[in-house]
Amino acid sequence: MIQFVATPIGNLKDITLRALEALREADVIFCEDTRHTLKLLSAYEIKKPLQSCHKFNERGAAEKILELSREGKKVCVVSDAGMPVVSDPGNEVCKILREAGEPYTVLPGANAALSALVLSAFSAERFTFLGFLPDKKREREKVLSEYRTARETLLFHSAPQDVDRDICDMYAVFGERKACAVREITKIHESAETFLLSEGLKGEKRGEYVLVVEGAAGEENPLSALSVRDHVLHYMREGHDKKEALKLAARDRGVSKSSLYAETIDL
């Protein structure tokens, strides 16, 4: 039996009875950082063999998990905080287990992004979770551009050393938006600070952040209702060359130029 177990995101009391039962019954626990997981287990007087499963050894760990499960062992998979797989190791393990036909289940629990959405008081009717932005600036801008015109609330994870960088890039792509920086969720110094992207987030950056950003406002650009071909042709008829027309149409649609190229190759 293989169980992916959600763990607390800060307050150690935020663990389910079912999760504790699974951890106590496990023959082995695969974790992102053995030292971190040991603190959780020690708090509940649980002693179990621990093995690493992180982004650098995930495929090898997955093969061990599969082998142990087929031997009849009870295996738990956890990350340092929250749900494994979501912005954490585990996705490769799931894929390998699925391909091998080995069953597994999930024990739900604490979630930083959803908690931050509630604390922000932004619209929760529709939202998109985007996790951590890429390290390379060009890739970050590409991801953000794809959601420039999205109406739903956007949720991002951000490490303290990256918060200012991420907010700066969001402003460059999104323009002025209201945002909320949520940190230390479930801990003593939990906070949710609302700010404008143009102003940035003031003060020293400490702890892991969830950045909640309002969706695009106003009416959709009417040109976006056209086909891609007609949208690009509109700008070419205004006197722009094809390269510039593609750039303008991509800006209107909030997508990359390359995603429009195939439909306009004969223009």
The answer, yes or no, to whether residue 97 has pLDDT greater than 90, is: yes
What is residue 3's predicted lDDT score, i.e. its pLDDT? 98
Tell me the pLDDT tens digit for each residue of 252-266: 776 777 778 788 888
Query: pLDDT digits over 105-117, tens only?
Result: 999 999 999 999 9
pLDDT tens digits for 116-129? Answer: 999 999 999 999 99
* Residue 150 scores a pLDDT above 90: no
Are the C-beta atoms of 197 and 176 separated by less than 8 Å?
Answer: yes
Residue 33 CB neighbour total at 10 angstroms: 15
When the pLDDT of each residue in the chain is averaged and rounded to a whole number, the result is: 93
| pLDDT: which is higher, 193 or 231 | 193
Q: What is the pLDDT of residue 15?
A: 97
User: What is the pLDDT, as a whole number, of residue 94?
Assistant: 97
Residue 183 has which token pair?
């940190």
pLDDT of residue 186: 97
pLDDT tens column, 226-250: 888 888 888 888 888 888 888 888 7
- pLDDT of residue 101 exceeding 70: yes
Write down how long the chain is: 267
State residue 251's pLDDT score. 75
pLDDT band (50, 70, 90) for residue 26: very high
Q: What's this model's pTM, rounded to 2 decimal places?
A: 0.79
pLDDT above 60 for 218: no
Q: What is the 3-state secondary structure (H, E, C) of the chain?
A: CEEEECECCCCCCCCCHHHHHHHHHCCEEEECCHHHHHHHHHHCCCCCCEEECCCCCHHHHHHHHHHHHHCCCCEEEECCCECCCCCCCCHHHHHHHHHHCCCCEEECCCCHHHHHHHHHCCCCCCEEEEEECCCCHHHHHHHHHHCCCCCCEEEEEECHHHHHHHHHHHHHHHCCCEEEEEECCCCCCCEEEEEECCCCCCCCCCCCEEEEECCCCCCCCHHHHCCHHHHHHHHHHCCCCHHHHHHHHHHHHCCCCHHHHHHHCCC
Residue 219 has pLDDT above 80, yes or no: no
All domains in the chain, ordered by first residue:
2-107 (3.40.1010.10), 112-213 (3.30.950.10), 222-264 (no CATH)
